[in-house]
Amino acid sequence: MKQELLALTRRLGFDLCRIAPCAVPPHRDEFLAWLEAGHAGEMAWLERNKERRTDPDLVLPGARSVIVLGMNYWQGPVPESAIQPDPQSASHPAGRIARYAWGDDYHDLIEKKLAEIDAFLIQHGGKQRCYVDTGPILERDFAALSGAGWHGKSTMLISPELGTWFFLAEVLTTLEFLADAPLPDRCGRCTRCIDACPTNAIVAPHRVDARRCVSYLTIELKGSIPEEFRPLIGDRIYGCDECLTACPWNRFAKASQESAFAAREFVHGWSLRDFLSLDDEQFRTLFRKSPIKRIKRRGFLRNVCVALGNIGGAEDLPALERVANDPEPLIAEHAQWAIQRIHERLSAHFPSRTGH
């Protein structure tokens, strides 16, 4: 049955399939201490689900195995032909979007594939719970137990075949499969991921303070971004890839064969101020089927304003001044901050003749 399962997952386009025993996750105590320290920030669902998240039997009574699945989303180096010269120019600065959000929403794609695996396991008498990073499960613990990879110092899972560029999914099942062996930690003394973090969010090896993380600040945080972090966000407008990009194991990464993850036009073809013209309906249309849609216009334009505050110029001021009066207070606040930052830069570069 395991061989049939492996063949099915390959046919469905998964790049890895490994089995972990269904047991209390190894980092249960560390996770609870992390929550207690407040490092989850506003991600309250982690606190609400902590009992289930640390005991898979509460998620699926009688679960015996965890099927860990990985799907590569690496698109390879960006060809110069894909980058429009105008948005990348100094007068039309562009923002950076985390690679996982370049294409269609992976949740929708992978959930359909998990339904087929569920149907296969039902035929063999199993009961399942299937998740794509949305369920109450410490997925990276089970992924490491299965040998899909090991815990990097950034807390990201590292695969010797895929590097760091892959999605995880899990199927808890009452069927018992022969578990695969875990891999040893192969990070050694390397600290490149820690050194690369722009906000020093990796406060110790294997420990991230989410409240400092650019991905948290630009995606999970619903309100105002603390001013101390805004300059450190740079030109990032959705997520952050710095700790992933820095990992030397990515030299083994291969381009994904899944066309749904290919970069959409807005990734390389839009300038930052282009995004400021979007109303709610245009935002929903542009980001239809994209994971970016989840932060809504208010969150995305907040991020765009911060990026313009960091790298924008005089040409961006009219667009920012328009959204500084946006009915959405969150957008207006960050636009006003960006305008002030640009004026400060202009004053520093072009001081008045009097020297004041």
Q: What is the band of 121 on the pLDDT scale with cuts at 50, 70, 90?
A: very high
Average pLDDT over residues 153-177: 97
| pLDDT higher than 60, residue 73 | yes
Which tens digits make up the pLDDT trace of 302-315? 999 999 999 999 99
By C-alpha distance, which of 217, 236, 237, 235 is closest to 227? 217
CB–CB of 56/66 below 8 Å?
yes
Tokens 């294409």 correspond to 103
Classified as helix, coil or strand, 320 is helix
Please give the average per-residue pLDDT across 280-301, as a whole number: 97
For residue 234, pLDDT over 90 is answered with yes
Q: Answer whether 231's CB lies under 8 Å from 211's CB.
A: no
Domain segments of the chain as ranges:
2-258
Whole-number mean pLDDT of the chain? Answer: 94
> What's the length of the chain?
356
d(CA 233, CA 229): 6
- Predicted local distance difference test score (pLDDT) of residue 93: 86
Q: What is the mean predicted confidence (pLDDT) over 8-23?
A: 97
Compute, in degrees rounded to 10, the torsion defined by CA atoms 220, 234, 324, 284. -50
Give the span between the Cα atoms of 25 and 145, in whole angstroms.
Answer: 9
Q: Is 133 a catalytic residue?
A: yes
- Structure confidence at residue 90 as a pLDDT band (50, 70, 90): low
* pLDDT value at residue 356: 42
**pLDDT at residue 77 is higher than 90:** no
Cite the beta strand spans of 32-140 per DSSP E. 65-72, 96-97, 128-131
Q: For residues 349 and 275, what is the distance between their CA atoms, to the nearest angstrom?
A: 27
Average confidence (pLDDT) over 55-72: 97
> What is the H or E stretch that residue 238 is in?
strand 236-238
The closest of 133, 135, 116 to 13, measured between CA atoms, is 116
pLDDT in tens, 196-223: 999 999 999 999 999 999 999 999 999 9
Conformation bin of residue 296: beta by default, left when phi > 0, alpha when psi is -120 to 50: left
Phi, psi of 326 (to 5 degrees): -65, 145
Here the contacts of 284-287 (C-beta below 8 Å, separation 24 or greater) are: none
Q: Look-up: residue for tokens 């180096």?
A: 77
| Mean pLDDT value of segment 250-254 | 91
The reported pLDDT for the residue numbered 349 is 75
For the stretch 91-103, pLDDT in tens is 678 999 999 999 9
What is residue 92's predicted lDDT score, i.e. its pLDDT? 76
* pLDDT tens string 222-233: 999 999 999 999
- Whether residue 136 contacts residue 59, with contact meaning beta carbons closer than 8 Å, is answered with yes
Strand duo 16-21 + 157-158: pairing: unpaired
The residue with greater pLDDT, 92 or 326, is: 326
Angle at 54 between CA 48 and CA 57, to 5 degrees: 105
The per-residue pLDDT for 352 is 57
pTM over 0.85: yes
> Taking residues 328-344, what's their average pLDDT?
98
Provide the pLDDT for residue 17.
98
Contact 68, 152 (CB under 8 A): no
H or E element, residue 341: helix 329-349
Q: What percent of the chain is predicted at pLDDT more than 90?
A: 91
Alpha-carbon gap, residue 120 to 11, rounded angstroms = 13
One of 55, 118, 133, 235 is an active-site residue; which one? 133
Average pLDDT over residues 84-111: 82
Mean pLDDT for 255-270 is 94
